[in-house]
Structure 1
Amino acid sequence: MARIGYARVSTLDQDLEIQQERLTAEGCQIVRCEKVSGASRLGRTELATIIEFLREDDELIVTRLDRLGRDTRDVLNIVHECEQRGAYVTVLEPHVSTKGEMGKVILTVLGMVAQMERRFIKERQREGIEKAKAVGVYKGGKSRIDHNLARELYARGCRATAIARQLNCSRMQIYRILSARTMQDD
């Protein structure tokens, strides 16, 4: 029986250290981490790897439910995939495990709450941006990636993976930058 920890933050500038320490303190022999949005399962390769290697009686542990996913359907699908492999999921805050029947019910409710919270956050953010635009102070988010350098490296023959590694971002971000330029040229 293995205890496998999964830590996730949404952006590259966020820190995984607190989650990693907590998961290690809980007895996780393996802790896999990634910096990617929890809004969907796209691009969450570490989570996919964990699920793929889960065996009978293994335990997937996360510090909070929103680290597993922000969408109720995604969370329930992840739990289902783990159960299909004979494993179970444990959330540390609040402490809930799918090992018992009540845990599944509680996780479903918590997943719905997390999804609702995400919608409220997005709505408040949208309202704030509209208000800032109305008074002329909104300038958009800061670009964390040098788009010109990404295009220049691509023009020199570098592949998306190498560019992403050099700019410390995901390949998907590089593909978006390159496709945005193509669309502008059309």
Structure 2
Amino acid sequence: MLIGYARTSTTEQAAGLEAQQRDLKAIGCERVFSEHVSSVASREQLAQAIAFAREGDTLVVTKVDRLARSTVGLWDIVKELDGKGVGLRVLNLGGETVDTKSATGRLILSIFAGFAQFEREMMLERQREGIAKAKAEGVYKGRKPTARAKAEDVRKMHAEGKTPTEIAKALGIGRGSVYRAIEDVAASSQA
């Protein structure tokens, strides 16, 4: 059985997720697990896909970076799949489909996973250099603190009896930011 796994990092990438799902179904995946989550976060749907797979099945992804961000992370997943007798197929790895059920497929996957990790590390390095340069020139100000700008709204909604979860959802901010705004009010009233 072919089991598909599709992932995007954010909900804003809905079209990318739909394209992955379409490609996975087109090659015959009978079941597709999908999620919007960072590759470094807990990936519940990936865990479910692996748990669902049985000996002789193949887990299919469209690209290797949908599955893992590092070579070590990728091989941890391959090792787990191997332990269950499950193969891995990557549909678009350098323009080729690669299947870990063959020695050649494993070699190609290893090479391309190394390149993908290298490319990501280079991108992050360039990003850090750009930020450092912008800071040195006094141009970089960082991300605007959106939650702090909504602190007054948080306080009003909290005073109205809304829960932190309701406030966070209504304002589009994290619950931690809501708690900080509420604590700031409590701290300033005690001072």
| TM above 0.5 | yes
State the TM-score bracket (shorter-chain normalisation): 0.7 to 0.9
Aligned pairs (5 A) from 1:1-186: 2-15=1-14, 16-38=17-39, 40=40, 42-94=41-93, 95-141=97-143, 148=151, 156=161, 158=163, 166=169, 174=174, 177=177
What whole-Å deviation, never above 9, does each CA across 1:103-123 have from its counterpart, x for those lacking one? 122222222111111110110
Give the RMSD, CA atoms, in angstroms.
3.2
Aligned mates of 1:118, 1:35 — CA distance in 2:
20
Q: 1:65 to 1:131 in 2, by over 3 A?
A: same
Aligned mates of 2:73, 2:104 — CA distance in 1:
19
Runs of 4+ in 1 over 3 A off after TM superposition: 141-160, 166-169, 173-185
Q: Contact 1:23–1:62 at 8 Å: present in 2 too?
A: yes
What whole-Å deviation, never above 9, does each CA across 1:55-114 have from its counterpart, x for those lacking one? 011111111111111111110011111111111100011211011122122222222111
Q: Contact 1:57–1:86 at 8 Å: present in 2 too?
A: yes
**TM-score using structure 1 length:** 0.77
Runs (5+) with no aligned partner, structure 1: none
Aligned mates of 1:25, 1:154 — CA distance in 2:
49
- The amino acid of 2:22's aligned partner reads E
Aligned mates of 1:110, 1:143 — CA distance in 2:
38
What whole-Å deviation, never above 9, does each CA across 1:10-30 have from its counterpart, x for those lacking one? 223122121111111111112
Q: Contact 2:131–2:140 at 8 Å: present in 1 too?
A: yes
Q: CA deviation at 1:144?
A: 7.7
Q: Contact 2:4–2:24 at 8 Å: present in 1 too?
A: yes
The structure richer in helix per residue is: 2
Q: Secondary structure at the match of 1:109?
A: helix
Q: 1:106 to 1:178 in 2, by over 3 A?
A: farther
Q: Contact 1:68–1:75 at 8 Å: present in 2 too?
A: yes
Q: Contact 1:20–1:31 at 8 Å: present in 2 too?
A: yes
What whole-Å deviation, never above 9, does each CA across 1:124-162 have from its counterpart, x for those lacking one? 1111112222333323236687974778878857475x7
- The amino acid of 1:31's aligned partner reads V
Q: Contact 1:4–1:28 at 8 Å: present in 2 too?
A: yes
Runs (5+) with no aligned partner, structure 2: none
Q: Secondary structure at the match of 1:139?
A: coil
Q: Secondary structure at the match of 1:13?
A: helix
Of the two, which has the highest radius of gyration?
Answer: 2
